[in-house]
Structures are given as structure tokens and as C-alpha cells.
Structure 1
Amino acid sequence: MRTWGPLTAVCLGTFMLLLDVTIVVVALPDMAGALHASLGDLQWVVDGYALAMAALLLGAGAAADILGRRRVHVVGVVLFAAASALCGLASGPGTLVAARAVQGVGAAAVFATTLPLLGSVYQGRRRSVALGVWGAVSGGAAAVGPVLGGLLTEGPGWRWIFFVNLPVSVVAVWLTLRVVPESKGPRGMRVDWLGTVAFAGFAGGTTYSVVRAGKDGWTAAGTLTSFGLAALALVCFVVVELRVAHPLLDLSLLRRPAFVGVMAGALAFNGVAFGVIAYTSIWMQTLLGMSPVRGGLTLLPMTGAAVVVAILGGRLLHGVPVRLTIGGGLLLVGVGSFCQAVLGAGSTWTALTPGLVLVGVGTGLVSPALGGAALAAVPAERSGMAGGAVNTFRQLGYALGVAVCGTVLTSRMRDALPREAAHTLAGGGAGALRGTFGEHALRSAFASGLNSAFVVMGAAGVAAAALVLTLVRADGAERTGVTNSGSSALKERERTARE
């Protein structure tokens, strides 16, 4: 227990919070029916969690250095558990979205402290083993999410995808308090609360604007006002970061092409690879008549390929230029998205399989390399900031990807259906429309909408690949150096203190 107890405790929290990124995907149609949720509500069920985590990751890590990493970790798990209970008891979409956002706050506290806690306990070879186990658990959570979500939704009901977190949280808190020692960062650190608030306003405002554009149009007054407020928040963030003593993000890093390239890759990656999945799940269940379990199993070609490639890639690609690993992986993700844009009124889920496999292969290349590439692209004293930034951009990219895909989907659907019907169909309400529209018309409209979303995501993936291949050169981020980068990540907060 003394040897591997801390790893078990940290991995329990990590598995739980990353599982909740994907576990809700296959439950969205059931949620929509039970809570009378609209498309916008469903988008925020997914995005509220990812956005809260993205907005607070850097701030939570800095706070943990001051208050104590174990303390913040435990508070995060408790908050996550309480929010999970509220999610499971939600009586309406507004309550569910709010509870999901609180879940994201707890998840940020947990995620920001996992690596520093491991780094304070394990050294040398044990640290490498602990890192490997933690990485495997992180990847496994995303793979298991849709399948477990399908089993729980089809079995006891969708609310149990949240209730299942409660016993896991109890064990995680008990084990953490018992076997994980407290640790803090060096003295003199400060939390950039103004920067945290400004960044949250920018991230949330931008995502809200994209979601609103799908409902009201890109040129609507409300949409333009939302974009304007998001831009104002971004300006405030830049001003704060230039003046504060301990910024969340040192803007001078943006002068480094490699850092910019890696951040662009991180932002695009999660959105391109996973942004459409929520809508393909709705399509498969509400129009193809698949059960939640079968809907989750259809994603196994992607998740299976990702796990296999990630395991083999760590052994076979050591020393390969990281720009090729990340750039090539993003190119595969983009091409895989293009390959899925082949749907028609008579298509089944099998039409997605070749593209899903390509996306999985690309994911297996990109995901393990991003963190190390971010650390290698900056000076050692900025490694903590770079590690937090890459995770922040990944979560923000996922939230934006879901929002953009929903907007593109409904915009294309309106070519064949009235506005309200398009939003109802995209939100899982095909059953309510069958008395008004024929089955062929509904399937054709949804298929065309998905095709457009796949094309947009494919273009974003290819563009991001080009940026990475162009910007990530030999200025410190040329080679993967997975092992060394992992060790650097574990020391991230201590290095940040030596700014």
C-alpha cells in the first residue's frame, strides 16, 4: 500500500474525471427525452464540463502550490462527487448544465494536481513506471467512456452515469488522505485570479457565441454582441498577463514558433477528433434505431486503434521528430474526418468505420506526444506553465469543436428542413418529427449535416497539421523525448516557481 497506494489514489481520480468527458455522449438522446432538452442544452451538457476544466486548470494548479496539492486534490474530488449527485438528480436541463459546470471545477482541481502529487512521491524508475500506469489509465478512461455510458444508460438509466462516481469518489478520498503525503510549491507564489476570470470569460463567451450562431445566425445582433464581449475578455486577459507578477501564461512564449504550433495542434486535436461524436451518437440512436450499448460499441474501432498505436508508438517512434508525430497524426485525424463525410439517407454506422480507424491511429500518435512537445518548446523554468497550457487548450478545443459541429450541422439541415425542425432533429427529437416529415427526408437531412461537420473538422485537422509541420522546428521541440518530458512534467510547479 505504501509503494503503490498513492498511484492508485491518483489514478482513481484521473480515471473518473476523464471518463466523464466521454461517458455522456451515448446518453444524450435519453437525456433529451427525459428532460425535454433542446440541442443547445445538450451542447452545454458536454461543453459546460470541458469549459470549466479548461478555464480553471492553470489557476487550480497555482492555488494547489500555495494551499497544498493533496488538500486541493481532495477538495476537487469531493466537489466533483457532489456535482455528480446533482447531475443524477437533475429535474431539468438548466440544473444538469449547472451541475456539469461544477463538475468541471472539481475536475480542474483534480487534474491540475495529479502529476505534481506523483512527482512528490515517486523518484527514478518508480516514477517512470507510475507515469506509464497513469498514462494508460488516462487513455483507457476515454476508451471505456462510451461503452460504460451505453451499458448504464440501457441498464439502470442515464442518471447512473453520474451516480457511479459517488462510490469511486469515496474510495479516492479515503485512499488519498491515508497514503498520499501533502506537498506544496516553493514559497512566494501567487494565483493570477484576474487572469483566470478573464480567460474564463473569453473561453465561455466564444463557445456561447458559436452555439448561439447555430440558433440565431452568425450575423444576428445577439451573436455579434457575444463575440464582442468575448473579444473584450481576451483583451483584458492580455493586459492582465502583461502586468501581473505571476501570469497564468507568459505571453512572451507566443514568440516561440514551436510553442505556438504545439498549442494550435492541441486546440485543434480534441475538437477535430471528438467534436462530432456527440452528434453521430444521436444519429445512430434516433434515426438508425441503435441501442446506447451498440452506439458506444461502434466507437471501438477508433478507441482500439488509439490505444494500440499509443502503446506501440512509445516504443517504435522514440527519437522521431515530434513535428512529424504530431503533424502526421493530425493529418490522419483530418483525413479520417473527411473519410466519414460519405453518409446518405440509407447509410449505416459501418460507413464511418474506415474514418474512425484513421482518427484512432492519429489520436494514438498525437495524444501522447503533445505534453512532451509543449515542455520541449519552452525553457525549463516555464515547463509547468507549458504543461498546464497544453491541457487547457485541449479541453478548450473540445468545447469549441462540439459547438462548431452543432452549428454546422443545423445550418446544413436548414437547407432541407425548417429552422425549428432542424434543431429538434439535431437534438434527438426525430420521433416527434416523424408524423410531419418522411423517414427518408429526416435521414437525408441529418446525414448531410453530419457530412458538413466532418468536412469542416477535416479541414481544421489538415490546417493544424500544416501549422505544426511548419512551426515546430528544431528550436528545442524537434524530438519527442517522451521519457524526459514526462519527468519534466512531474516537476512542473517547482520549475514555475523559479521564474
Structure 2
Amino acid sequence: MDNREHPRRWAILAVLAVAVFVVSIDATVLNVALPTLGRELDASTGELQWMVDAYSLVLAGLLLMSGSLSDRFGRKRLLVIGLVLFGVASVAAALSTESWELIATRALMGAGASAFMPGTLSILVHVFSDEERPKAIGIWGAVTALGAVTGPLIGGVLLEHFWWGSLYLVNVGVVAAAVFGALVLVPESTDPTARPLDALSALLSIVGVTALVYGVIEQPRYGWTSTEVLTGLIGGAVVTVLFFVRQATARHPMIDLAVVRNPRFLGSSGTMAVLMFALTGSLFVITQEFQLVLGYSPLAAGAAILPVAVALMICSPLSPVVTKALGVRATVVLSLLVLAAGYGTYAVFTREYGYPAMVAAMVLVGAGMGLSQPLVNDVLMTAGPPEQSGLLSSMNDTVQEMGAAFGVAVVGSVLATRYASTYTLDGPEPAKHSLDQALEAAQSLPEEAAKATVAAAREAFEKSFSASAAVCAGVVVLGAVAAAFLLPRRIESPSEGSKAADGTSARGAVVARETAV
């Protein structure tokens, strides 16, 4: 047995998969509950938006620091602390009676998730051998994507039978199981070469990423040229540049710039951003297509997305097999082209084709995601020394959060702009802004006028839906071109070329520090 293989590695993987699943669900489960929360908590549109965004904003802002802390103070320790904080915040969220309380507890949940998310992937690097690592990361990635895709369905089922607080109470049992499993099974590991945490680097990373994400998530409300959005984007970009300047000059930098400049890191992180951009952006419009055009209930709309999850779960374990046959670069490029074909199928979809056409598109999307995501995660996690796996994992998670935020903002902007330009019928002013507002306005119109308004709105939405899907396809194709230039033909062992001064491998030094509980 490889000396890096942990005898309970598959049980450890199960524990970590449970942890990432609950976080992934929480990123999307709230979307189906917004109308209910608006009624129950008397929440405004802005408050509803922040119920969703507070979680993502805090999660993204703290990830880099959390990953660095996990390498220094123990990946298992941060994993357990983060899970406990997430569970406590979930209980508080379920018991909220005011909008501000739910927003605050959602932010606290984001802080908990940021503490344990980096550890879930970095721990895998230390308990699996190079041969089994791609399969393990494939399962991890599939579970992560599965949680995001099935979040709306799980939310719909819970709302169908229970009150809205059940969306959060269900987390408690899952978190308790993950904490118990982590304490019993997961070994502790740290970076034996860890240096003191540079406080200024940590502060700059938090401010920079938070400002960028804030600017992106506020775009749908204020527009790209608004003061709020430009302040976030420009300010975040400036602070991020200062962060990298600090890394080049600090005595104890948070990240190794040599890793950031590595083409493997640039290619894999860029591809991951593309994947999350397309997946999150498309989910944003597809759920509207199912509910507003095809007339599905929230529960039915969540169930209708399942072909993506099924194809993803089938293809994800096949990623290492295909990689052995074709190599890393060819497999990623091929899978991205399959993904682009799925979004291209969305782009030519019209209501006359019905749900079967959407199934064909979703199968292609799921297959492309399933084949590419595990491999891209593996390339990224081997782009630097294994003793920095916590930081690498947090950088991976940060890139995913940024890609997801830009996906919703850009695709949503295309959807709104295209809808406004193609809706030509004179009528109620709200109908010119979005399909859901048109459907609501039509309820107060005479029958003939209502039919004309709904027909014009749905036609405009179908054109805007096609434009949004085409943008996703185009971004994925550009990602495939970049991957063809940046990604390697094969994945080297993470420990190759990483030798300590005494001749032992850096990974060996790390493993020597690991002790099973």
C-alpha cells in the first residue's frame, strides 16, 4: 500500500462528501423559498436578495484566510470548528423572526462554511495515493455539483410538507453526523514549514475578494455603471492588486506567487471559473424557463433539473478513465466542448420542442461537467506543494465563488437586456421589464389584453433565454481554447520536484505529521 494511503480513506471521503453536500445545497436551496420568506417575514426585495447574498459574500471573502489558517493550525481542527459554527448558525436561521436576523445568521453560516470547505479537499490529498486521488476528488466534485443542482428540489420538497425553517433545521442532523465522523475518522495534518500569518495579507484578501463579490452581486439591482457596483469592482480590483504586491514583498507571504504564475494553476483555476460561471448562470435562467414558460411548480421545476445531476453522477467516475486514454488536456477540452454543445442546445430551444429537448441539453451539460470538474480540481490541487493544500483548496473555492457570482450577474444582465429589447407590445410598464412581472400585470387586464401581454412576454423571454444560453456556450468555448494552451498533457505527482533539504519529500514530511484520532 502507498505510504500515503490512509486505511480509512474511503470512510473519510464519505464524511467530507457529507460536509460539502450540505454547503452546496445551502447555496441554492433558498431560491425556491424567497416568495414564502417575503410573506412570512414581511421582507422587501432588497432584504430577500441579501438573504441569498450574505452567505456567498462572507464565504468568498474569508476563504483565502481560512485555507491559510487550516495549513497552519490543523485542517481537521478548522473542519470541526467550521462545521459546528455552520450548525449553530443553521439553528439560529430556522428560528429567525425578522429579516435582519435571517440575513445575519446566513452570514454566520457563510463564515462557518469558509472555515471547513478548504479542509474537505486538502485532506483528501493527504489520505489518498496519487493513483486513487483523481477518483476521490472526482467523487468530491460530483457531490459538490450535485448539491448545487438538487438544492432547489430539496427546498421544494421541504416547503411542500414543512415550514420554511426546515430548510435550515435539516442541516443540523447532517452537520452532527459530519462532526462525529470527522472526530473519529479524519487524521490531523498541518504544514510543517508554516510561517506566521501575515495580518496585512489576510486583511487585503478579505477586503479585496469581498468588494469584488459585492460589486458583482449588486449588479442586477443597480446596473454595471452604478456607483455601488463600480465602487465594489474597482475598489476590489485595486485592493487585490495590493494583496499581490504584498505577497511579493512580505517576509511571510500568505501565498506563493510561483504557484499563482504556474500555467497549471492558471489553466485549472480559469477552467473552474468558466465551469461555475456557466453552471450557475444557466441554473438561474433554466428555473425561470421551467416555471414561467413551461408552467411548472417550484417542486416540479427542481425535479426537472435532475437530468443534469444524473448525467453528472454517471460521467464523473469516468473522468479518470477517459484521462488515462486521452490525457489531461484533451479530456478537459473535449468535455468543455460537450458542455458548450449542451448550452448550444439550450440556445436553439423553443417552447414547441417541449421538455424532451431540454433533457437532451441537460444530459450534455451534466456529462461535460462530470468529465471536466474532477480532473480540473485534481490539476489545481497538484499545482503547488502538498503542504499548502489547504491554501490551494481555498483558492479553488474562491475561484468557484467568483465564477458563480459573475455567472448570475452576467447571464442575468443578458437576460434582462435582451428581454427589454425584444418586448415590443404596448401595455403595462412592468411587463416590459421581466416575464414574471408581465404575468403578474396580466392578471389585472381584460382577457384579450392579458393573452396578448403574456404571449409577447413569453416570446421575448424565449429570445432572451436563447441569448443567455449562447453566452454560456461562448464562455465555455473560450475556456476550452485557454485550457488547450495552459493545461498539461498529464498530471505529475504532487510530490515530484518537491524535496526537502534533507532529501525527503515534502509530502513525506507532511504525512509524518499526520496522526489518526
Q: Which one-letter code corresponds to 1:243 in the other structure? A: T
Q: Which one-letter code corresponds to 1:327 in the other structure? A: V
* Deviation, structure 1 residue 269: 0.9
Residue matched to 1:402: 408
From 455, 461, 466, the equivalent of 2:470 is: 455
Residue matched to 2:229: 223
In 2 relative to 1, CA 385–225 (structure 1 residues): closer, same or farther, beyond 3 Å? closer
Deviates more, 1:230-239 or 1:102-111: 230-239
From 323, 334, 338, the equivalent of 2:344 is: 338
Q: Which one-letter code corresponds to 1:251 in the other structure? A: L
Matched-pair contact (CA < 8 Å) for 1:51–1:396? no
* Deviation, structure 1 residue 217: 3.3
From 462, 474, 490, the equivalent of 1:479 is: 490
> Would you say 1:198 and 2:204 are equivalent positions?
yes
Find the structure with the greater CA-based Rg. 2
Structure-2 separation of matches of 1:72 and 1:304: 32
The TM-score, its normalising length taken from structure 1, stands at 0.83
Residue matched to 2:284: 278
Q: Which one-letter code corresponds to 2:374 in the other structure? A: P
In 2 relative to 1, CA 280–68 (structure 1 residues): closer, same or farther, beyond 3 Å? same
* Deviation, structure 1 residue 188: 4.2
* Deviation, structure 1 residue 165: 0.3
* Deviation, structure 1 residue 186: 2.0
* Deviation, structure 1 residue 362: 0.8
Structure-2 separation of matches of 1:404 and 1:430: 24
Structure-1 separation of matches of 2:387 and 2:374: 22
Quote the sequence identity (%): 32
Matched-pair contact (CA < 8 Å) for 1:211–1:406? no
* Deviation, structure 1 residue 344: 4.9
Deviates more, 1:243-252 or 1:318-327: 243-252
Structure-1 separation of matches of 2:189 and 2:100: 38
Matched-pair contact (CA < 8 Å) for 2:12–2:185? yes
Structure-2 separation of matches of 1:123 and 1:264: 26
* Deviation, structure 1 residue 457: 1.7
Trace 1:375-386 onto structure 2 (pairs within 5 A): 375-378=381-384, 385-386=391-392
Structure-1 separation of matches of 2:240 and 2:167: 35
* Deviation, structure 1 residue 392: 2.1
Structure-2 separation of matches of 1:314 and 1:446: 39
Residue matched to 1:58: 64
Residue matched to 1:78: 84
Structure-1 separation of matches of 2:120 and 2:17: 8
Residue matched to 2:324: 318
In 2 relative to 1, CA 123–267 (structure 1 residues): closer, same or farther, beyond 3 Å? closer
Structure-2 separation of matches of 1:330 and 1:129: 19
Residue matched to 1:435: 444
Matched-pair contact (CA < 8 Å) for 1:74–1:110? yes
Return 5+ residue gaps in structure 1 as ranges.
none
Structure-2 separation of matches of 1:463 and 1:46: 29
Deviates more, 1:242-251 or 1:342-351: 342-351
* Deviation, structure 1 residue 239: 2.3
In 2 relative to 1, CA 448–10 (structure 1 residues): closer, same or farther, beyond 3 Å? same
Q: Deviations over 1:260-317 (max 9, x none)?
A: 2222111111111222213322342345331232111211221111111112232243
> Would you say 1:291 and 2:297 are equivalent positions?
yes
Structure-2 separation of matches of 1:129 and 1:466: 26
* Deviation, structure 1 residue 365: 1.3
* Deviation, structure 1 residue 125: 9.0
Structure-2 separation of matches of 1:240 and 1:180: 34
Structure-2 separation of matches of 1:29 and 1:346: 29
Matched-pair contact (CA < 8 Å) for 1:340–1:352? yes
Return 5+ residue gaps in structure 2 as ranges.
1-6, 497-505
From 347, 361, 366, the equivalent of 2:367 is: 361
Residue matched to 1:371: 377
In 2 relative to 1, CA 116–48 (structure 1 residues): closer, same or farther, beyond 3 Å? same
Structure-1 separation of matches of 2:473 and 2:483: 15
Residue matched to 1:467: 482
Q: 1:317 is paired with a residue of what secondary structure?
A: helix
Structure-1 separation of matches of 2:478 and 2:131: 39
The TM-score, its normalising length taken from structure 2, stands at 0.80
CA RMSD between the two structures: 3.8
Q: 2:294 is paired with a residue of what secondary structure?
A: coil
* Deviation, structure 1 residue 340: 0.8
Q: Which one-letter code corresponds to 1:431 in the other structure? A: E
Matched-pair contact (CA < 8 Å) for 1:32–1:38? yes
Structure-1 separation of matches of 2:88 and 2:376: 32
* Deviation, structure 1 residue 207: 3.3
Q: Deviations over 1:128-164 (max 9, x none)?
A: 9876765664455345434322211222144322220
Q: Which one-letter code corresponds to 2:359 in the other structure? A: T
Matched-pair contact (CA < 8 Å) for 1:344–1:443? no
Structure-1 separation of matches of 2:12 and 2:181: 8
State the aligned residue count: 486
In 2 relative to 1, CA 6–435 (structure 1 residues): closer, same or farther, beyond 3 Å? same
* Deviation, structure 1 residue 372: 1.9
* Deviation, structure 1 residue 469: 0.9
Deviates more, 1:122-131 or 1:268-277: 122-131
Structure-2 separation of matches of 1:221 and 1:102: 27
Residue matched to 2:398: 392
Deviates more, 1:64-73 or 1:178-187: 178-187
From 106, 116, 122, the equivalent of 1:110 is: 116
> Would you say 1:16 and 2:22 are equivalent positions?
yes
Structure-1 separation of matches of 2:90 and 2:508: 30
In 2 relative to 1, CA 412–83 (structure 1 residues): closer, same or farther, beyond 3 Å? farther
Structure-2 separation of matches of 1:493 and 1:216: 51
* Deviation, structure 1 residue 356: 1.5
Structure-2 separation of matches of 1:345 and 1:38: 33
Matched-pair contact (CA < 8 Å) for 1:341–1:451? yes
Deviates more, 1:56-65 or 1:290-299: 56-65
Structure-1 separation of matches of 2:198 and 2:251: 9
Matched-pair contact (CA < 8 Å) for 1:327–1:469? yes
* Deviation, structure 1 residue 76: 0.6
Q: 2:255 is paired with a residue of what secondary structure?
A: coil
Residue matched to 2:271: 265
